[in-house]
Amino acid sequence: MIRRNDKFNIKSDIIIIGCGVSGLYCALNLPKDKRITVITKDSLENSDSFLAQGGICVLKNENDYDSFFEDTLRAGHYENNKESVDIMIRSSRNVINELIGYGVDFERDENGELTYTREGAHSDKRILFHEDITGKEITSKLLTETKKHHNITLYEHVTMLDILEKDNTCYGIVARNEAGTPITFTADYTVFASGGIGGLFTHSTNFRHLTGDALAISLKHGIRLQNPDYIQIHPTTLYSKKDGRRFLISESVRGEGAILLNKNNERFVNELLPRDVVANAIFEQMKIDNMPYVRLSLEHIPTDEILTHFPNIYKQCLEEGYDITKEPIPVVPAQHYFMGGIDVNRYSKTSMEHLYAVGETACNGVHGKNRLASNSLLESLVFAKRAALDMTKNYESLSGYDIANVNLNNYKNYQRLQSEYKKIVLDEIERMKTEHEQHNNEVECR
C-alpha cells in the first residue's frame, strides 16, 4: 500500500527508513500482524539497490566455502569480522531460494541450471546475475511483494531528519513529509536501512540523495559507528564531463575478459585484483599519462556475449557516443561503496535500544577494509532478515515518550540541517582517517 501522508504523528509497530533491498527484505520478514511503515526520501525505485549490475554471490556448493571465505577476507585486507562472513556465506543459499520464490529470474543454462559469473578478486565463478541489471530484478520483485502486504505501508518523498530518543532508547523518528512539513513517526522499533554516502562526494556511482543521514543522526545521539573512513572507490566508471551520478562499468566486464589500457594501448595492471588495488593503479597511470582517464577495451569478449550479458552497459555507452563492441571506452575511478557504518552486532542491532541498522548504512564487519564484488546485496539481505527475526523474537512494546515535547520548529530549515549533517559525517570520516593513519605509522615504527 502506498500512502500520502497528511497527519502529524503516525504510529506503527516498526518503522523502516529506506526501501532498497535491505529495507524491503526486512519488512517482508517481519510478522504479518505488525503494522510496518517504510519511508523513502525519494521515489520507490530510486535506491542504489536498483542500480546493482554485476550480481549477487552465493555458496554454490560446499566445496566452494573455503575459497569464498578466503576471497572475502583477502579483499577485505583480513580486517573482516569472520563470524559475520561465515553467517553471510552460510545463509546465502536460503536467501537466494527465497528470492527465486518471489519470482527473481537469475540467468540459467539450456538445462535450466543456474549460471554463475565471476568478478575481480573472486577465485571462482559464484555470482548469480540477471543480464547486467541484477539489482533492478531483485529489488523490483521485492517491491512488488511488499505492495501485496496489507500490514506494510510505503511512503515516498518522506525524509528522516532525526530520531526520537530518551535514555538511549529509540521511540521513532522526526521526518519531513512531502509538503516539507516536519512530522513524527512513533514506533516500538526503528530500522535504519538508508544506504550509502555517495551523495556527499562529487564523483560517485550512488544516487545523489544518499547522503548518510542515518550516520549524522547516529553521531548526534552518540550511537556507535565503525570505520566510517572505509570507503570503496570503484575502478571503472564511464568518464564524463557532465555533473551527477557516474555510470558504473561493472567489474564483471573485467571478469569476462575486458582489459585496461594506458595512452599507449598497453596493459598496466592485472584487472582482476581487488578493487582498491586496481583503482590505485589507475590513479597512478592517469598521473603518468597526464590524462583524466584510462581506457577499457572489451575486444576479447565476443560481441554476442557483450550484447546478451551487458545490454544495459552497451546501451548507456552508446548514448554517451561509445560502441563498446568496436572501441575502448574512457574510464575513471569514483566513490562507490561504504564498508564502514553504524556499528551493529550479528543481529543488526545498534548500540541504542530498539534501534537496528541494515544494509550499506550498517557495519557488521563483513567487508573489512574493502568489499569483495557482489557481496553487498547478499550481506544486505542476510542481515536484514536477521534483524527482522531478532525483533520478532524479542519484541517489546514501548511507551513513555511524550511527542508533545518535540519541538518541530527545530526541523523547519531543511537546507541548514542538510549542510550540518554533511559536515558532521565528513568531519568524522576525516577524524577516523587520521586516527587510522597514526595507528598504522605507529605499527610501522615498532
Ligand X SMILES: Cc1cc2nc3c(=O)[nH]c(=O)nc-3n(C[C@H](O)[C@H](O)[C@H](O)COP(=O)(O)OP(=O)(O)OC[C@H]3O[C@@H](n4cnc5c(N)ncnc54)[C@H](O)[C@@H]3O)c2cc1C
**Whole-angstrom distance, CA of residue 128 vs CA of residue 395:** 35
Catalytic residue among 275, 416, 431, 446: 275
Nearer to ligand X, 1 or 288 (CB): 1
DSSP codes of every residue in 239-280: --SSSSPPPB--HHHHHTT-EEE-TTS-B-S-TTS-HHHHHH
78 C-beta neighbours (distance < 10 Å), count? 11
From the CB of 268, what's the least distance to ligand X, in Å? 24
Joined together, the cell numbers standing for residue 136 give 533492478
How far apart are CB 257 and ligand X at their closest, in Å? 18
Q: At closest approach, how far in Å is the CB of 130 from ligand X? A: 10
Q: Which three cell numbers stand for residue 415?
A: 537546507
> What b/e string do you get for 312-341 counting C-beta neighbours within 10 Å, with b at 16 or more?
ebbebbeeeebebbeebbbbbbbbbbbbbb
Closest distance to ligand X from the beta carbon of 435 (Å): 25
CB 219 within 8 A of CB 425: yes
Q: Which residue, 42 or 353, is less far from ligand X as judged by CB?
A: 42
Q: Which three cell numbers stand for residue 367?
A: 567487508
End-to-end Cα separation, the chain, in angstroms? 60
Q: Using CA of residue 204, residue 207, residue 208, residue 210, what is the dihedral sign? A: negative
Q: Which residues bind ligand X (CB under 6 A)?
A: 17-23, 39-42, 47-49, 51-56, 134-135, 159-160, 193-196, 205-206, 209-210, 213, 248, 337, 359-360, 374-377, 380
Residue 193 or 388 having the CB closest to ligand X: 193
Which residue number, 131 or 229, has a Cβ lying nearer to ligand X?
A: 131
Q: Is 102 helix (H, G, I), strand (E, B) or coil?
A: coil
> Considering the complex, what minimum distance in angstroms separates the CB of residue 422 from ligand X?
12
Per the document, the length of the chain is 446
Query: Could you give the CA distance from residue 109 to residue 102 in angstroms, rounded to a whole number?
Result: 20
Strand 355-357's sheet: what is its strand order? 152-155, 36-39, 14-17, 189-192, 355-357
User: What residue is closest to ligand X based on CB?
Assistant: 20
**212 versus 328: smaller Cβ distance to ligand X:** 212
For residue 275, indicate whether it is catalytic.
Answer: yes
Shortest Å, Cβ 265 to ligand X: 28
> Of 256 and 360, which CB lies nearer to ligand X in the complex structure?
360
**Active-site amino acid positions:** 275
